[in-house]
Amino acid sequence: MDTFIKAMLLLLVVYFCYQILQPFLLPIVWGAIIAIALMPLVKGLMKRFSLSQGKGSMLVTLVALAALLIPTVWFSGAVFSTTQEVATSVTEGTLVIPHPEASVAEIPVVGEPLHKAWSLSATNLESALETYAPQVKAFVSSGLSAVGSLGGSVVQFIISILISGVVMSNAGRCKAMANKVVSRLLGDKGEEYVGLSIATVRSVVQGVIGVAVIQAVLAGLGMGVAGVPATGLWMLAVLILAIIQLPPILVLGPVMAYLFAVETTTVAVLFTVWGILVSASDAVLKPMLMGRGVDIPMLVILLGALGGMMMSGIIGLFVGAVVLGLGYKLLMTWLEQADSTEQEVTQAALPVAATF
């Protein structure tokens, strides 16, 4: 009974600790991931400019916050001003929509309805808004929901970046604590598994986030040269698709169709070739960036990232890769131990066999 009471009290303490920390668990996990990804940059600044770890961490944290907030403010301002201008133009009847080219109707599946809706909008916008009122309402509702979700995500990432700054400034103590906890659970190989987890997170950052950023920048460069309006929004869409492991061609395809409708054939063809190359670039970039510095096959890390994302969203990219990587390492350790045991048994049996 005494043991039961102690166990129940311990469970209650753990339960209430979880309930208190539960709203902060996701920002804490993201903070740890960001800290792991940015820590090499902190060490580089410390070595190059003779900064203390605290100052280096603060500088990197401020740069990360600026990299998040500046595009967010620019994007919010652009969306607000564009929405206000469109609403004013619609109200005053001054909005001019160009007529679509005949080639739009030749697009497979969506060509004819798209050409019909576009032509009606260019000819009689009020009639088009009345005809497609349910679709317009659903689109506006989805847009507002997406903006609200984006705002919540930005706040969450601000908290996560601040947490990462604290983790980076106390990296030694945080790693020592992780080593103690994992060693307590897994024995002598605890420190090895902590190092493996850190290397796997950095590998996923390079192979998934890094490739997504490269593809978004390359896509934005092509759209900027081709004169595509709202290039920043298209870049953001490419970035999101690339992070969730969907091909950027899903975004670049409609842009290609738009250019064929409004630009010269030369511009449209050149951008189409560029868009296909950008969309296919991950097949070259991922093997180069993912798995570097990690004693785990790239396929295991990629499957862990994809499976984790399907199970738990974006955070699963990292958690899934780490868990599957650790599982692979445990499996290899178990197999190696089985092989060594078989060898020891064989060697022990040789002298006995020789006596006969």
| CB within 8 Å of 296: residues ≥ 6 apart | 196, 200, 325, 328, 329
Residue type, 23: P
CA distances from 144 to 36, 147, 229, 254, 291 (A): 34, 5, 21, 22, 39
Q: What are the tens digits of pLDDT across the range 145-170?
A: 766 776 777 888 899 899 999 999 99
Mean pLDDT on 274-293:
83
The answer to whether 95 and 86 have CB atoms below 8 angstroms apart is yes
| CB within 8 Å of 119: residues ≥ 6 apart | 99, 100
CA neighbor of 319 nearest in space, from 331, 304, 332:
304
- The pLDDT of residue 252 is above 90: yes
Range from 27-31, 125-129, 200-204 that averages highest in pLDDT: 27-31
CA neighbor of 110 nearest in space, from 254, 264, 263:
254
The answer for 296, left when phi > 0, alpha when psi is -120 to 50, beta otherwise, is beta
Q: What's the first-to-final CA gap in the chain, in angstroms?
A: 60
The answer to whether 188 and 58 have CB atoms below 8 angstroms apart is no
Range from 94-98, 181-185, 232-236, 249-253 that averages highest in pLDDT: 249-253
Share of the chain above pLDDT 70, in %: 91
| CB within 8 Å of 128: residues ≥ 6 apart | 117, 120, 121
In this predicted structure, what is the pLDDT of residue 114? 79
DSSP state of 209: I
Mean pLDDT on 38-64:
92
| CB within 8 Å of 211: residues ≥ 6 apart | 242, 281, 282, 285, 286, 289
pLDDT band at 349 (very low <50, low <70, confident <90, very high): low
Mean pLDDT on 23-41:
89
Q: Distance between CA atoms of 11 and 306, rounded to whole angstroms? A: 34
Q: Distance between CA atoms of 267 and 277, rounded to whole angstroms? A: 15
pLDDT band at 352 (very low <50, low <70, confident <90, very high): low
Q: In this structure, what token pair is assigned to residue 316?
A: 């699963």
Mean pLDDT on 40-50:
91
Q: Distance between CA atoms of 304 and 302, rounded to whole angstroms? A: 5
Q: What are the tens digits of pLDDT across the range 303-348?
A: 888 888 888 777 777 788 888 888 888 888 788 876 666 666 666 6
